[in-house]
């Protein structure tokens, strides 16, 4: 059996752009992608803390160090510049792999720089 587990999480990213006319996807600073082991074209789920919207799309890498978090295409209708979002990727693991899997989690500051790397996410964690 395979289990779908969170593999990477970008917590408290601030949307810097929303481009309705782009073909689709989310552009993410490639330095952030590296920190959470996310890849270009990987499927991600985005949760908007401001309005509760949940979106699935794929990643386009942005300029490293730029702090860019840009929702493109139809996804741009679900965010406003300045909204705070959570971006998560998932992986398929065997039951044995899932028992020891450790996702990579980063918390960003208001300029989308990595403020903290969390070794785990415990119940009732608040920031």
Task: Name residues whose C-beta falls within 8 Å of residue 69's C-beta, 6 or more positions apart in sequence.
Answer: 13, 14, 15, 16, 17, 26, 27, 28, 29, 85, 87, 112
Q: Is the pLDDT of residue 68 over 60?
A: yes
* Dist CA 58 CA 88 (whole Å): 11
Note the pLDDT tens digit of each residue in 9-64: 999 999 999 999 988 799 999 999 999 999 999 999 999 999 999 999 999 999 99
Portion of the chain with pLDDT greater than 70, in percent: 95
Domains, the chain, in order of start with CATH, read 1-112 (2.40.40.20)
67 secondary structure, DSSP code = -
**Quick one: pLDDT at residue 43?**
98
**Quick one: pLDDT at residue 125?**
59
Residue stretches of the annotated binding site for substrate:
57, 73-75
3-state secondary structure of 30: helix
**Residues β-bridged to residue 6:** 90
Positions marked active-site? 25, 58
């Amino acid at each position: 059996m395979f289990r779908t587990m969170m593999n990477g999480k970008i917590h408290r990213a601030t949307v810097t752009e929303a481009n309705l006319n782009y073909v689709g996807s989310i552009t993410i600073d490639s330095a952030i992608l590296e920190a959470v082991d996310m890849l270009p074209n990987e499927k991600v789920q985005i949760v908007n803390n401001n309005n509760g919207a949940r979106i699935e799309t794929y990643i386009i890498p942005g300029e490293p160090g730029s702090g860019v978090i840009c929702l493109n295409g139809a996804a741009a209708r679900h965010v406003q510049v300045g909204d705070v979002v959570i971006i998560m990727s998932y992986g398929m693991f065997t039951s044995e792999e899932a028992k020891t899997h450790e996702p990579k989690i980063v918390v960003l500051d208001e300029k989308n720089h990595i403020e903290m790397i969390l070794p785990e996410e415990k119940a009732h964690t608040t920031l």
